Structure 1
Amino acid sequence: MFRDEFYDSFLDKLPAPCAQSRTDVMETADAFVIKVDLPGFDKDQFDIEVGPDHVVRLSGKQSEEKETEGAKYHMRERSQVEFSRSFRLPQNIKQQEVSAGYENGVLTVTVPKVEKAAEKLKVQVK
């Protein structure tokens, strides 16, 4: 009996699973790519914003599953799940061209970079 009460109250205090989702942020020659493991979501459950402060904000909410009538649950961890993550990127991004995809439980956000200016510009004196 002690174990059940302790176990149940302990589980209730754990953070939502998505709050600890594994995330990769990488930079390629022409973009920043953010990948977040978020299994079980639908594409329409995500909100992605890029603010003027160059912060990419990802959030989402998964609806609570309905209980099966007549069933007795011994453990219930698959309820409503919400997440929110923010990533500050350098100022060399194209905010209007951000794209996102969701496949096999992985949300991928691609933020293109502004074309790099020439490293050295040779100016001819006239």
Structure 2
Amino acid sequence: MTDTDPFSEIERAFDVLTDQFGANLGAVPTDLVETGDEFVVRMDLPGFDTDDIDVTLAEDRKLSVTAERDESAESVDGQYLTRERRRQSLSRTVRLPGPVEDDAAASYDDGVLTVHLPKIVEDEDDEGTDIPVN
């Protein structure tokens, strides 16, 4: 029995559409790399400050990133002739292929967020637990 998440299925469908038709659909460009002992997620978040970014891990397998900023350009000399304000907000959730430890680390440099998520190492010699039958 497989555990299917409808939201990850929707995200996968959007990824397929993007690959086939070149549509951006407002997605945050994201790379997921599996190394020997960790997953590494990289996301392009240009123009944000470190304080604008929130990273959370839920259920050992769902990495959620939200970023929000207020941008304003204003004239400081005299009366305002033009004053423009813009609010930018984005979010992306990545379902990891396996469970990870809680001691993840994130860094943000030159508009790229990098999150290192150590995998939960299962003992390969562990053949399970014997359950006595009465």
Normalising by structure 1, what TM-score? 0.66
* Runs of 4+, deviation exceeding 4 Å: none
1:33 alignment counterpart: 40
d(CA) in 1 for partners of 2:49 and 2:58? 24
Mapped pair 1:93 → 2:100: yes
Q: In 1, Cα distance between the equivalents of 2:60 and 2:110?
A: 31
Percent identity of paired positions between Structure 1 and Structure 2: 33
The structure whose RCO (Cα within 8 Å, separation 6+) is larger is: 1
Give the Å deviation of 1:60: 1.2
- Which TM-score applies when normalising by structure 2? 0.63
- Structure 1 gaps of 5+ residues are 1-16, 122-126
The number of residues matched between the two structures is: 100
- The CA RMSD over aligned residues, in Å, is 2.7
Greater fraction of residues in strand: 2
What letter corresponds to residue 103 of structure 1 in structure 2?
Answer: D
Secondary structure of the residue that 2:106 maps to in structure 1? strand
Q: How does 1:74-113 map to 2 (within 5 A)?
A: 79-94=86-101, 96-113=102-119
List alignment gaps of at least 5 residues for structure 2: 1-23, 128-134
